[in-house]
Structure 1
Amino acid sequence: MAESESPDRGPAPAPRRSRPRRYGYSYGPYTGGPDPLAPPVDLRTALDRIGQDVMEGSSPQQALRELLRRGMPGRTGLDELSRRVWQQRRRLQKDNRLDGTLREVRELLAQALDAERDVLARQDSDDARFRELQLDALPSDTGGAVRELGSYDWQSSDARQAFEQIRDLLGREMLDQRFAGMKQAMQQATPEDVARIREMLDDLNQLLSDHAEGTDTPEQFAQFMRQHGQFFPENPGGVDELVDVLAARSAAAQRMMASMTPEQRAELMELSQQAFGDPRLSQALSQLDGHLRGLRPGEDWDGSSRFSGDNPMGLGEGTRALEQLGRLDALSEQLAQSHPGARLDDIDLDALEAELGPQARIDARQLAELERQLRDRGFLERGEDGSLRLSPRALRRLGESALRDVADRVAARTGERDTRRSGAAGDPTGATRPWAFGDTESWSVPRTLLNAQLRRAGGDTHRLDVSDVEVVETEQRTRAVVALCVDTSWSMVQDGRWVPMKRTALALHQLISTRFRGDALQLITFGRHAEKVELAELVGLEGAYVQGTNLHHALLLAGEHLRRHPDAEPVVLVVTDGEPTAHLEPDGTPEFHYPPEPETLRATVSELDRLSARRASISFFVLGDDPRLAIFMDRLARRCGGRVVVPDLDGLGAEVVADYLRTRRKA
């Protein structure tokens, strides 16, 4: 049997040839979202700004927050978004007022009284005169007058209609405060409609009461929604969702009442009893507010806002205005990023777009993307204590920037150009040798391929074998062991020398770690005492008001570093702006005196002599224009055969790097 045949179905059908798939593109209008033509996030500029703030004393977390707050060229920051939110809030309060319902009730009341008096004036009877006395004796406040007229037998049909409009208006406004769209839905309310509203409120209060006690059931909620769902266009999925919607509006209604004057508040409380001519509606709404306040105590129930504009708003409009103010306040808090653990992802983009437009949403999303990329690409990382810090990758980026600036200055001064030569371990001699385990020299490709061909000509079938490899022979370059001692006394901070000092350390560290990898660099800070530090520690070091310039201790630590590398060329670079005013006692405690005491000077000079005995190249970079300091440093340099350089702040890094390179070339 042929392989293509089946014992039951006969020969298998021939395979169908599939038609080649055609790929095409469709184009349509831009429908929102990130701008596809927007420039990418400039992480280098962002990192430079963060690094600058960190070097000035900010923590990485503060620096990141400051960057997001200020924004970047072409990127709106949180401050600008917050300003626009504040403007929207101010405009809402400045343009509107909350007494719209009271004004409308007063106008309708005046219409009713004028129409009634007009009819009574045309009647010549004692009853007409008695009714006129009744109208004249009405309370002066609107709420009391409407209450008294609740049982009045109107003689004018126009007056009766205006008075019924007052009751209808109050009912619709009070419902509109709590239920969206109710004012329009109840515009031609019949007694049956009012009865249905009261029934819904009774059932709602019973549902919330059972929910507060934990005795409600899903079937009870489902039954409630089947019977009264038309009053809730939000279509909540459960009692909690229903409470969330109603509580936000109820709290806004309470804030609106608190924002009125005491007189306005008292009038409305009185008028509320006349809603639809039935005080039971006001009582049911008060009971609803009580349930909601108990279920959502975290809402802002007692706040208030001041409105001073000319546009009168009704109760429903005023409540929605207070809801909007609440959303604006929430946005302000989100944009402020002031609470612990705040992230830009916390910003409600839908609310931001609703208040400020679609561009605000894009701006906030771009800032969030910038924050996310800084974290995801490894520029910021969490320390063991949970704090944010610059990662080694970020420090390399900052070092590249600092070194680039320094290289430009050095090139401008000497006519040299930046080169890309790496700091290999040695110079080629022109010879090659077989590779041995541990060799790091480059392969000699021609010799390696030649060896492989000769071996294969002898019958070996391997295309390439480790025995074929030959490396370029080099001669060892001179290594350098470098101690960069930087002054961290308060005067460095006070006189604006703090950041230039840190950028100098960044540039030197970047140069050595990328081009002279065999050199050993140690960073040493000295104030009241000296300390060996890593680059990240120095970059993030905050200035502190501590007196003392303990050059003795710094030179002592520099000597320890030099002794650990006896085969390297010793280089000591000192950046300072003051005379030695502190030294280390035999028990290890720092001793400070100003003016400097002879003991401090003797200890410093003694340690300098020890470094000179090791034939270390020592250079002093003196900041400031203190003549006493210049004389002292000149004497130190003469004693150790070193150099004194007096750079300006902008040229400090270039001078230090150039001096290091000069020392290596001499070696």
Structure 2
Amino acid sequence: MSLHPRSRYGRYRGGPDPLAPPVDLTEALDAVAEDVMAGYSPRRALQEYLRRGGLDQEGLDELAGRIQQRRQDLLGKHNLNGTLNEVKKLLDTAVLEERKQLARDAMMNNTDRAFREMQIQNLPQSTAAAVNELASYDWQSSTAREAYEKIKDLLGREVLDQRFAGMKQALEGATDQDRAAISAMLADLNELLDKHRRQVDTAADFAEFMAKHGEHFPENPRNVEELVDALAKRAAAAQRLMQSMTPEQRAELMQLSAQAFGSQDLMAQLGQLDETLQALRPGEDWNGSERFEGQEGMGLGDGTGVLQDLAELDQLADQLGQDFDSSHMDDVDLDALARQLGEDAAVSARTLAAIEKAMHDGGYLTKGADGDFRLSPQAMRRLGRSLLRDAAKQLSGRQGRRETREAGAAGDQTGSSRPWEFGDNAPWDVTRTITNAIRRTIADGGDPGRGVRLAVDDIEVTETEERTQAAVVLLVDVSFSMAAEGRWVPMKRTALALHHLVSTRFRGDKLQLITFGRYAQTMDIGGLTSLPAFREQGTNLHHGLLLASRFFRKHPAMQPVLLVVTDGEPTAHLLPDGESMFSWPPHPSTIRATVDELDRVGRAGAQATFFRLGDDPGLERFIQRMARRVDGRVVAPEAGELGAAVVGEYLRAHFRGRAYGDSDWAF
């Protein structure tokens, strides 16, 4: 006998896997940020990502498409003739067996036989009418009588199955005692619901009812409200089923229902139940219908189940649509999704819900004073790091660079080292530090082979030259042509990459972001990232240079660096009264004002680089002349290479006089 009990392992089914790794937000955050930079609000951008999904992640639109396909499959597979066809087969069997018996029965009076044969021969074409006409027929064949009784039994089980799922199978072969028990259950149910309708029921009434009849309610309702919900959904589906039939089918079944269990009382009880449920739940869809076009016939109970499935599919489609501002992934019924599409669909929706929750709870989206969501500083840093790595890969031409936290933060290494002093943040010289520790251990009589402990006096750091701090201005064109020509998002990606580089690798530098359209303005990185495109004419480089000069004057001890991104010639300048004058083609006064302000920037010693986007000859000539006036550079990158070009020129300004290499900046 084993001392240890056997354990069985299987898939965890208690909800989300508690041991599952945290959801990876990298792809979602990148997609959301890209849409934000294109002009979406952060909330709308997150909704769009949830709709699209990721490379290996189903989105809401794909799940909604599967819902619609499932709906079409149900309608295209089935028809509503199932019960009528079953009844017709039993009727045909009963009639055939009765004819055989009449032909075999030699003892029967010829007149009586002829009368019976005439009755059988002249049955109505309508199945329901024939069944009703034979209700009082005295069957001579026991086989025929049994087949006819099966019709009444089938109809009874079908009409009950319409209201109580699984009743058709549960009552197969039922005895009179079983049918009496069902009748008693219906009477008790109607009494309970009538009391609830009049608001005079108690919790004890419900408990007593479930104790007596709970086996008929697999939904296991916890109170009368849940009981009503389950019954009303089923009853409404049964109503829609009848309304989905042709008038002929509906009339046939209404007539046949009178033969259910051979009891008029059953239909009266069900009628009372439907009336009460409709009064208690008027919001259910009691009047809808569907169009079935398939070949597979369904009985009343199965058809009602399919109508319930269709209603559930419609609810899921609404939930997956997320069409309201207050919509959340928590609105999606994962159990219903698993029932209709399988567990894989529920896993996909659960992952999307986890992404949505993590974006909020993880601090990537924050609610501003206006109540709208924005990308948080944490999200901006993460995105900036990603964009900076992209720029680094383009500049280096190599993949997989190792990140170095302090790279670029200090000056150029001289090749020498010195003892560490309190407050030093220079990189350690690891080789000399370990060597010092080994020598000290030996001098103290220790054995380096048995381990070495570092002491503060062992530590040496690399010596670096002082690096000039820079006051950097990134001037970006935000005229509408930037958005119209597909340069809007690359411009924002460039600003984010440069902002992250300066704020993490060159913390001693100062960066100012300035946009210029009809007017120029200084902006923080969050404002620039979420800036929408305006249909406003004007490229006021003059105003932008004015703001740049003001920034440089605030930091006189720093090296001024000017980076200008534009796709058009100046078409506006600032007048003495503060208004902007616009003119196309560019007015001579606009050109003159722009050049004069550039000269002031040049006299301040600024290192200027102009990034020309597009192939306009006029812009090319203008930019070349501007660059020559201040001994600057012109770079003409493709839009997708703009970030690498700007980062590269910024680094060139820091390492002017020699080439910068991988050791100078690792991302």
Give the structure-1-normalised TM-score. Answer: 0.81
Structure 1 stretches lacking a partner, 5+ long: 1-23, 447-470
Aligned-pair CA distance for 1:396? 1.2
Alpha-carbon separation, structure 2, partners of 1:178 and 1:37: 42
Q: Which moved more, 1:359-368 or 1:271-280?
A: 359-368
- Return closer, same or farther for 1:519/1:90 CA change in 2, 3 Å cut-off: same
Give the whole-Å Cα distance in 2 for the aligned partners of 1:443 and 1:505. 29
1:59 and 2:41 aligned: yes
Q: Distance in 2 between matches of 1:381 and 1:528?
A: 31
| 1:299 corresponds to which of 284, 292, 302 | 284
Q: Which residue of 2 aligns with 1:604?
A: 594
* CA RMSD between the two structures: 3.9
Residues of 2 paired with 1:172 and 1:426: CA distance? 88
Look up the match of 1:584. 574
Tell me if 1:207 matches 2:192. Answer: yes
1:651 Cα offset (Å): 2.5
CA distance in 1, matches of 2:150, 2:522: 84
Matched with 1:530 is 520
Would you say the 8 A contact 1:433–1:472 is kept in 2?
no
CA distance in 1, matches of 2:406, 2:365: 30
User: Which residue of the other structure, out of 531, 538, 548, is the alignment partner of 2:538?
Assistant: 548
The secondary structure found in structure 1 opposite 2:258 is helix
Q: 1:198 to 1:27 in 2, by over 3 A?
A: closer
Q: Which amino acid aligns with 1:569?
A: Q
Q: Contact 2:608–2:632 at 8 Å: present in 1 too?
A: yes
Aligned to 1:467: none
- Counterpart CA distance in 1 for 2:424 and 2:328 is 46
CA displacement at 1:626 relative to structure 2 = 0.8
SS at match of 1:304: coil
Deviation of residue 656 (structure 1)? 1.4
**Contact map agreement 2:79 2:292 (CA 8 A) in 1:** yes
In structure 2, relative to structure 1, the CA distance for the partners of 1:185 and 1:407 (3 Å cut) is closer
The C-alpha deviation readout for 1:480-500, integer Å capped at 9, x for no partner, is 222211112222222222222
Matches for 1:385-464 after TM superposition, within 5 Å: 385-412=370-397, 421-422=406-407, 424=409
Q: Deviations along 1:198-238, whole A, 9 cap, x unmatched?
A: 33223322221221221112232233334433433444332
Is 1:32–2:22 an aligned residue pair? Answer: no
Question: Which AA in structure 2 matches 1:325?
Answer: L
Give the conservation status (yes or no) of the 8 Å contact 1:443–1:472: yes
TM-aligned CA deviation for residue 501 of structure 1: 1.3
Structure-2 change in CA distance of 1:408 and 1:189 (3 Å) = closer
CA contact (8 A) 2:71 2:310 kept: yes
**Cα drift, residue 425 of structure 1:** 7.4
Which deviations, in whole Å up to 9, do the C-alpha atoms of 1:495-530 show, x marking residues without a partner?
A: 222222122111111111112112221112222332
Contact 2:82 2:299 in 1 (8 A): yes
Residue identity (%):
55
Q: Is the 8 A contact 2:406 2:427 kept in 1?
A: no
Contact 2:187–2:269 (CA under 8 A) maintained in structure 1:
yes
Relative distance call for 1:583 and 1:284 in structure 2 (3 A) is: farther
Alignment correspondent of 2:440? none
In structure 1, what residue type is equivalent to 2:46? L
- Assess if the C-alpha contact under 8 Å between 1:82 and 1:335 holds in 2: yes
> Does 140-149 or 619-628 show the bigger shift?
140-149
Out of 261, 274, 284, which is 2:246 matched to? 261
- 1:379-425 deviation line (CA, Å, top 9, x unaligned): 33333334333221221121112111222333349xx9986545557
Indicate conservation of the 8 Å contact 1:526/1:553, yes or no: yes
Partner amino acid for 2:12?
G
Q: Is the 8 A contact 1:252 1:320 kept in 2?
A: yes
Q: Does 1:107 align with 2:89?
A: yes
1:320 aligns with 2:305: yes
Instruction: Give the equivalent residue in structure 2 for 1:187.
Output: 172
* Partner AA of 1:490 in structure 2: F
In the TM superposition, what is the alpha-carbon distance from 1:646 to its structure 2 partner? 1.4
Give the match for residue 175 of structure 1: 160
| Cα deviation, residue 611, structure 1 | 2.7
Count how many residue pairs are aligned between Structure 1 and Structure 2.
Answer: 619
Q: CA deviation at 1:27?
A: 7.5
Map Cα deviations across residues 118-144 of structure 1 (whole Å, 9 max, x no partner): 666786655655556655665543333
Name the SS of the counterpart of 2:511 in structure 1. strand
Q: 1:104 to 1:418 in 2, by over 3 A?
A: closer
Amino acid at match of 2:608: I
Aligned mate of 1:614, from 597, 604, 616: 604
Q: 1:665 deviation in Å?
A: 3.6
| 2:637 corresponding residue in structure 1 | 647
1:455 match: none
What do the CA deviations read for 1:345-388 (whole angstroms, capped 9, x no partner)? 44333333333444444444344334444433333333333433
State whether residues 425 and 518 of structure 1, in contact with CA within 8 Å, keep that contact through their aligned partners in structure 2. Answer: no
Contact 2:410 2:426 in 1 (8 A): no
Change (3 A) 1:38 1:201: closer
> Is residue 572 of structure 1 aligned with residue 556 of structure 2?
no
Q: Distance in 2 between matches of 1:92 and 1:284?
A: 31
SS in 2 for 1:507: helix
**For residues 579-637 of structure 1, what are the alpha-carbon distances to aligned partners after superposition, in whole Å with 9 as ceiling and x for unaligned?**
12233344444443322233433333343334334333332111111111111222222
Q: What is the deviation of 1:100?
A: 0.4
Describe the shift of the 1:440–1:299 C-alpha distance in structure 2 as closer, same or farther (beyond 3 A).
farther
> Could you tell me how far 1:183 is from its partner in structure 2?
1.5
Deviations 1:269-296 (A, max 9, x none): 2222221222332232122122212222
Counterpart of 1:516 in structure 2 is 506
| Change over 3 Å in CA distance of 1:550–1:443 after alignment to 2 | closer
Change (3 A) 1:355 1:431: closer
Q: Unmatched 5+ residue regions in structure 2?
A: 433-460, 658-667
- Residue number in structure 2 paired with 1:6: none
CA distance in 2, matches of 1:163, 1:441: 97
SS at match of 2:259: helix
Distance of aligned partners of 1:219 and 1:48 in 2 relative to their CA distance in 1, 3 Å threshold: closer
- Distance between the aligned counterparts of 1:564 and 1:25, measured in 2? 77
Query: Within the alignment, does 1:561 sit opposite 2:551 as a pair?
Result: yes
CA contact (8 A) 1:422 1:516 kept: no
1:9 is matched with none
Matches within 5 A, 1:70-219: 70-116=52-98, 138-154=123-139, 156-219=141-204
Deviations 1:40-70 (Å, cap 9, x if unpaired)? 6443344333333333333333333343444
Alpha-carbon distance change, 276 to 56 in structure 1, aligned in 2, over 3 angstroms: same
Q: Name the SS of the counterpart of 1:580 in structure 2.
A: coil
Report the counterpart of residue 293 of structure 2 in structure 1.
Answer: 308
Is the alpha carbon distance of 1:303 and 1:472 closer, same or farther for their aligned partners in structure 2, counting shifts above 3 Å? Answer: same
Equivalent of 2:628, from 627, 630, 638? 638
Equivalent residue for 2:260?
275
Q: Contact 1:173–1:314 (CA<8 Å) still a contact in 2?
A: yes
Cα pair 2:552 2:560 within 8 Å, conserved: yes
Structure 2 Cα separation of the partners of residues 642 and 168 of structure 1: 96
Cα 1:169–1:433 shift into 2, 3 Å:
closer
